[in-house]
């Protein structure tokens, strides 16, 4: 017999770690205790050395699903304390330093079984949860995480729930949001008639679920309150129904997501890889962008080859898809209008969704903070995030080194911020485009909330170089108010640093940074950039040629303007290829309001217009989405790729493209050839920079790398050239992920 003292570091608090260990310790025939410490958990054990070794070895693989174990240290002793039991003891001098807060977790299998068990007291109760599942981040108002500091504070536990809560062996031991039909929240239904019906028990909840199902089956639109906000749900078997939702929501063409009852339904709609299935069914329940089973199907849902799929994640979702309801899949889209944040309060839903939703299936459990669904592709078997939000936030991105306490304020589109503490970086949830006051207010509220719940006071601030971003203004005001140093970082350099940090690289790299727009160090707009450097600085080695944008911001919607500009400025034939071309040519001739941008996003838009795939975009980046969708498979040809002093020029490529079109080559074939040319260009310029600098590692970042065609081909091409390419996996390649890079650059400086 020996004694061992084991220290477990990582994310082990607020994830049910202590009860989990308590429950399995009898298997190892060990006695002693477990407690939380300021940086993890400490376990004292007595038993045979063999059993202790076995327990320690198993810790890495046998942990609660939310736990992240970073390190396990232990010492062995021969003097015994002769413990007679295993217990959870009082936490040792627990400061707030590393108290983490769990993301929201989908309903677990145990709760799902109880939800479906007529003999269980929580049968068909839409708010069933336990230590392993349920709402967390979205209901927490303050720390430490206790029920009174959540939106469940207004529901006192009944004696039975309290008994479970206090029983160490119970699945609901210390489950702060636990409740039942007797003591917890209930559903609320409201329809065109206007009066609210509030359920008072599970049976009445069921009646309201049935009403919603009837609505959905008859082609009506229902607002459904979820974990981090309100969705608009509708059927899509009749293609008219999602079109009606588009009209009412003024969401012309942006893709919707679909929630499917189970994997069988998913397989009917999409090709599913084992990795995709694993992520879809995992506890985070993101939306996964998957290949449609038939190209050209579900066009009323998404106009490209992908469709965003998620599985149910709350008990209410499962009830909506139950057998009697006869529903197996629904469009589920965030309820927001005019680019404002997702709605999350009952009253605002009634007010602002009047005329959009026919019925409202809400409830009286308040959401404290908004958190949109996460969104991703699966690339090379792992998550490739477009939006890191519900299910991920507020868990940190773990870095290898200690960081200074910094607030990084992000950019403007897909705004996000992040905070550092120790070796953790806490990225915010999806905030949206910082272009209206409501979004700015949410951004500021969330910064204050994060600083409070993580007990963090920034000692430095970092923001974008763009003078007009609301996030820049916020950072400048904050720096003044709190007398903090502020660093402004070039947009694409921040993207590069973000991808470095994502891959734990801290050495010079080449950055292929392609996106829509960002403010350059020379005051022009950048977006098709080849950089090289590290956290201490960077150099611009190359870029795509500048494109004049007649009409400024108007070009993001009116793609023909870019097409005409590209052809005209390359000295090619533009007349007769576009409507109203003369008028736009005049704007170019006068050179009034024609800012120049070396933007990959705008190049995609312009090519999209030249190929006649789309002339008017309804959302930014649509050109790139449609080029990818149009690209024919197995096209390997490349247009002439002219590069002078690191600058890619368009003339030869566009000339060949026009010849193709005039010969009747399909737009889809040309789209593929165009993207192949971009791959060839990336390869050539990277090889050149590598030759000059000796750097072999290449990071790929910027919103263009959401394009899976480009991502996979550039990764493959660089590898073949024996360069070492890296893409994102922990944060998004879009502007959402850029605050991480800002933070790492600021951390490397003496501010």
Which residues of the chain form contacts with Fe ion (CB under 5 A)? 515, 735
Is the Cβ–Cβ distance between 9 and 97 less than 8 Å? no
Dihedral, CA of residue 478, residue 481, residue 485 and residue 486, to nearest 10: 30
CB of 197 to Zn ion, least distance (A): 22
Contacts of 421 (CB under 8 A, 6+ apart): 97, 396, 403, 405, 454, 456
Q: What is the DSSP string of 702-732?
A: SGGGG-HHHHHHHHHHHHHTT-EEE--SSS-
Q: Among residues 128 and 629, whose Cβ is nearest to Zn ion?
A: 128
CB of 57 to Zn ion, least distance (A): 40
Q: At what angle do helices 437-453 and 470-482 cross, to 10 degrees?
A: 50
Q: Among residues 39 and 735, whose Cβ is nearest to Fe ion?
A: 735
Nearest alpha-carbon partner for 289 in 280, 297, 298, 281: 280
The listed partner (Zn ion, Fe ion, none) that binds 180, CB under 5 to 8 Å by sort, is: Zn ion
Q: Among residues 165 and 469, whose Cβ is nearest to Zn ion?
A: 165
The listed partner (Zn ion, Fe ion, none) that binds 735, CB under 5 to 8 Å by sort, is: Fe ion
Is the Cβ–Cβ distance between 386 and 375 less than 8 Å? yes
Is the Cβ–Cβ distance between 349 and 223 less than 8 Å? yes
Q: Among residues 157 and 288, whose Cβ is nearest to Zn ion?
A: 157
CB of 226 to Zn ion, least distance (A): 22
The listed partner (Fe ion, Zn ion, none) that binds 212, CB under 5 to 8 Å by sort, is: none
Nearest alpha-carbon partner for 136 in 288, 8, 16, 309: 16
Q: Among residues 135 and 229, whose Cβ is nearest to Zn ion?
A: 135
The listed partner (Zn ion, Fe ion, none) that binds 562, CB under 5 to 8 Å by sort, is: none
CB of 726 to Fe ion, least distance (A): 17
Nearest alpha-carbon partner for 476 in 151, 616, 465: 465
Rounded to an integer, what distance in angstroms lies between the CA atom of residue 508 and that of residue 535?
8
Contacts of 118 (CB under 8 A, 6+ apart): none
CB of 515 to Fe ion, least distance (A): 4
Does residue 711 have a cis peptide bond before it, meaning omega lies within 30 degrees of 0?
no
The listed partner (Zn ion, Fe ion, none) that binds 717, CB under 5 to 8 Å by sort, is: none
Rounded to an integer, what distance in angstroms lies between the CA atom of residue 446 and that of residue 461?
16
CB of 63 to Zn ion, least distance (A): 29
CA dist 494 → 15, 534, 734 (Å): 33, 10, 11
The listed partner (Zn ion, Fe ion, none) that binds 69, CB under 5 to 8 Å by sort, is: none
The listed partner (Fe ion, Zn ion, none) that binds 620, CB under 5 to 8 Å by sort, is: none
Rounded to an integer, what distance in angstroms lies between the CA atom of residue 314 and that of residue 230?
13
CB of 601 to Fe ion, least distance (A): 9
Q: Among residues 581 and 600, whose Cβ is nearest to Fe ion?
A: 600
Contacts of 344 (CB under 8 A, 6+ apart): 225, 228, 229, 230, 367, 369, 370
Q: Among residues 180 and 309, whose Cβ is nearest to Zn ion?
A: 180
The SS3 call for residue 136 is coil
The listed partner (Fe ion, Zn ion, none) that binds 101, CB under 5 to 8 Å by sort, is: none
CB of 235 to Zn ion, least distance (A): 35
Rounded to an integer, what distance in angstroms lies between the CA atom of residue 88 and that of residue 32?
9
Residue 737: what are its φ and ψ, rounded to 5°?
Answer: -90, -5
Nearest residue to Zn ion by CB is 161
Radius of gyration of the chain (CA): 27
CB of 157 to Zn ion, least distance (A): 6
The SS3 call for residue 687 is helix
CB of 735 to Fe ion, least distance (A): 4
Is the Cβ–Cβ distance between 513 and 489 less than 8 Å? no
Q: At what angle do helices 559-569 and 651-662 cross, to 10 degrees?
A: 110
The listed partner (Fe ion, Zn ion, none) that binds 216, CB under 5 to 8 Å by sort, is: none
Q: Among residues 577 and 729, whose Cβ is nearest to Fe ion?
A: 729
Contacting positions for Zn ion (CB under 5 A): 158, 161, 180, 182-183
The listed partner (Fe ion, Zn ion, none) that binds 183, CB under 5 to 8 Å by sort, is: Zn ion
CB of 461 to Zn ion, least distance (A): 45
The listed partner (Zn ion, Fe ion, none) that binds 161, CB under 5 to 8 Å by sort, is: Zn ion
The listed partner (Zn ion, Fe ion, none) that binds 515, CB under 5 to 8 Å by sort, is: Fe ion
Q: Among residues 499 and 685, whose Cβ is nearest to Fe ion?
A: 499
Q: Among residues 183 and 665, whose Cβ is nearest to Zn ion?
A: 183
Is the Cβ–Cβ distance between 376 and 383 less than 8 Å? yes
Q: Among residues 13 and 488, whose Cβ is nearest to Fe ion?
A: 488
CB of 224 to Zn ion, least distance (A): 24
Rounded to an integer, what distance in angstroms lies between the CA atom of residue 91 and that of residue 305?
52
Is the Cβ–Cβ distance between 125 and 181 less than 8 Å? yes
CB of 375 to Fe ion, least distance (A): 17
Nearest residue to Fe ion by CB is 515
Burial 549-560 (b: 16+ CB within 10 A, else e): bbbeeebbebbb
* Token pair of 383 as six digits: 């998550």
Q: Among residues 125 and 493, whose Cβ is nearest to Fe ion?
A: 493
CA dist 2 → 22, 44, 298 (Å): 19, 11, 64
CA dist 279 → 70, 227, 289, 354, 615 (Å): 22, 19, 11, 35, 36
Q: Among residues 158 and 197, whose Cβ is nearest to Zn ion?
A: 158
The listed partner (Zn ion, Fe ion, none) that binds 647, CB under 5 to 8 Å by sort, is: none
Q: At what angle do helices 559-569 and 581-590 cross, to 10 degrees?
A: 60
The listed partner (Fe ion, Zn ion, none) that binds 736, CB under 5 to 8 Å by sort, is: none
CB of 555 to Fe ion, least distance (A): 17
Residue 222: what are its φ and ψ, rounded to 5°?
Answer: -120, 130
CB of 734 to Fe ion, least distance (A): 7
Pairing assessment for the beta strands 359-363 and 222-225 based on DSSP bridges:
parallel
Q: Among residues 270 and 470, whose Cβ is nearest to Fe ion?
A: 470
Rounded to an integer, what distance in angstroms lies between the CA atom of residue 188 and that of residue 204?
10
Q: Among residues 164 and 262, whose Cβ is nearest to Zn ion?
A: 164
The listed partner (Fe ion, Zn ion, none) that binds 265, CB under 5 to 8 Å by sort, is: none
């Amino acid at each position: 017999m020996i004694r061992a003292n084991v220290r477990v570091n990582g994310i082990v608090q607020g994830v049910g770690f202590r009860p989990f260990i308590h429950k399995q310790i009898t298997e190892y025939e060990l006695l002693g205790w477990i407690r939380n410490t300021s940086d993890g958990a400490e376990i004292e054990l007595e038993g045979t050395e063999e059993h202790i070794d076995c327990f320690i070895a198993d810790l890495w693989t046998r942990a609660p699903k939310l736990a992240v174990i970073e390190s396990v240290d232990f010492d062995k002793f021969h003097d015994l304390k002769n413990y007679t039991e295993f217990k959870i003891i009082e936490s040792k001098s627990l400061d707030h330093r590393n108290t983490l807060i769990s993301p929201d977790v989908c309903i677990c299998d145990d709760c799902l079984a109880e939800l479906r068990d007529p003999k269980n007291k929580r049968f068909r109760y839409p708010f069933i949860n336990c230590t392993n599942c349920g709402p967390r981040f979205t209901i927490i108002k303050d720390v430490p995480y206790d029920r009174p500091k959540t939106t469940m504070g207004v529901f006192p536990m009944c004696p039975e729930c309290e008994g479970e809560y206090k029983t160490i062996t119970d699945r609901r031991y210390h489950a702060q949001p636990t409740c039942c039909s007797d003591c917890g929240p209930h559903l609320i239904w409201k329809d065109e008639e206007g009066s609210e019906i509030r359920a008072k028990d599970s049976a009445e909840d069921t009646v309201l679920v049935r009403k919603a199902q009837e609505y959905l089956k008859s082609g009506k639109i229902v607002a459904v309150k979820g974990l981090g906000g309100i969705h608009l749900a509708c059927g899509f078997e009749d293609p008219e129904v999602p079109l009606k939702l588009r009209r009412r929501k003024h969401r012309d063409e942006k893709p919707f997501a679909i929630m499917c009852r189970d994997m069988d339904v998913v397989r009917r709609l999409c090709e599913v890889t084992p990795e995709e299935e694993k992520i879809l069914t995992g506890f985070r329940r993101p939306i996964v962008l998957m290949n449609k089973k038939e190209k050209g199907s579900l066009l009323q849902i998404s106009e490209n080859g992908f469709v965003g799929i998620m599985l149910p994640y709350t008990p209410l979702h499962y009830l909506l898809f139950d057998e009697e309801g006869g529903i197996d899949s629904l469009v589920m889209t965030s309820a927001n209008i005019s680019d404002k944040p997702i709605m999350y309060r009952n009253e605002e839903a009634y007010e602002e969704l009047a005329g959009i939703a026919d019925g409202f299936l809400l409830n009286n459990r308040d959401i404290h903070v908004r958190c949109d669904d996460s969104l991703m592709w699966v690339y090379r078997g792992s998550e490739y995030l477009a939006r890191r939000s519900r299910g991920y936030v507020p868990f940190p991105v773990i870095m290898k080194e200690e960081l200074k306490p910094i607030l990084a304020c992000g950019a403007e589109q897909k705004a996000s911020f992040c905070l550092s503490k120790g070796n953790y970086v806490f990225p915010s949830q999806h905030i949206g485009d910082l272009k209206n006051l409501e979004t700015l207010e949410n951004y500021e509220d969330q910064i204050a909330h994060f600083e409070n719940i993580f007990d963090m006071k920034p000692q430095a601030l970092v923001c974008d170089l763009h003078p007009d971003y609301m996030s820049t203004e916020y950072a400048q005001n904050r720096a003044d108010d709190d007398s903090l140093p502020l660093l402004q970082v070039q947009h694409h350099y921040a993207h590069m640093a973000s991808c470095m940090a994502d891959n734990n690289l801290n050495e010079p790299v080449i950055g292929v940074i392609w996106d829509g727009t960002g403010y350059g160090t020379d005051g022009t707009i950048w977006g098709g950039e080849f950089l090289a450097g590290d956290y201490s600085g960077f150099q611009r080695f190359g870029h795509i040629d500048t494109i004049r944008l007649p009409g400024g911001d108007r070009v993001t919607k009116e793609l023909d303007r870019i097409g005409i500009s590209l052809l005209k400025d390359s000295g090619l034939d533009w007349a007769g290829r576009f409507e109203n071309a003369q008028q736009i040519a005049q704007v170019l001739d006068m050179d009034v309001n024609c800012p120049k941008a070396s933007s990959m996003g705008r190049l995609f838009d312009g090519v999209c217009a030249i190929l006649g795939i789309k002339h008017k975009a309804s959302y930014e980046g649509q050109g790139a989405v449609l080029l990818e969708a149009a690209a024919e498979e197995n096209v390997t040809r490349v247009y002439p790729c002219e590069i002078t002093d690191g600058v890619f020029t368009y003339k030869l490529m566009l000339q060949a493209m026009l010849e193709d079109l005039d010969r009747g080559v399909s737009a889809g074939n040309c789209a593929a050839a165009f993207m192949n040319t971009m791959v060839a260009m990336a390869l050539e310029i990277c090889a050149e920079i590598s030759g000059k600098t000796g750097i072999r590692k290449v990071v790929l970042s910027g919103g263009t790398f959401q394009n899976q065609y480009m991502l996979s081909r550039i990764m493959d091409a660089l590898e073949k050239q024996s360069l070492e390419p890296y893409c994102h996996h922990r944060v998004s390649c879009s502007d959402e992920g850029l605050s991480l890079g800002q933070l790492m650059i600021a951390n490397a400086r003496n501010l």
